[in-house]
Amino acid sequence: MKKIKEIFENILNSFKTTAGGFSARKLAGFTIIIMVVCLHVKWFNSNHWEYTSSILGLDFGFIAVCLGMTTYENMKKNELPKD
């Protein structure tokens, strides 16, 4: 029971601007991945294969955005201060 309470507190603390809790970016990514999995399962069961290119395009676009955000963040952290 103690571990469940700790997890719940960290989830709630991740939405604060303090250092405690889980990462909000990780929680948002987790939520989006769960939604994508649910939508893919629903799509696979529907037999509408004419949307394959659209679905894969959205998937690859999402992955590219996630990688781009991480790259941008790392670039901003390593940016030299201007004189």
Distance CA 45, CA 69 (A): 32
Residue 81 banded pLDDT, cuts 50, 70, 90: low
Per-residue confidence (pLDDT) for residue 69, from 0 to 100: 73
Burial class (CB within 10 angstroms; exposed 0-12, middle 13-18, buried 19+) of 28: exposed
So what's the pLDDT on residue 82? Answer: 64
- In the chain, where are the structural domains located? 1-34, 48-83
Structure tokens at 16: 């604060």
The better pLDDT of the pair 70, 34 is held by: 34
- pLDDT tens digit sequence for 14-69: 777 667 777 767 677 778 778 888 888 888 888 878 878 888 888 888 878 877 77
pTM of the predicted model, to two decimals? 0.54
Residue 10 φ/ψ, nearest 5 degrees: -65, -35
Q: For residue 20, what pLDDT is reported? A: 73
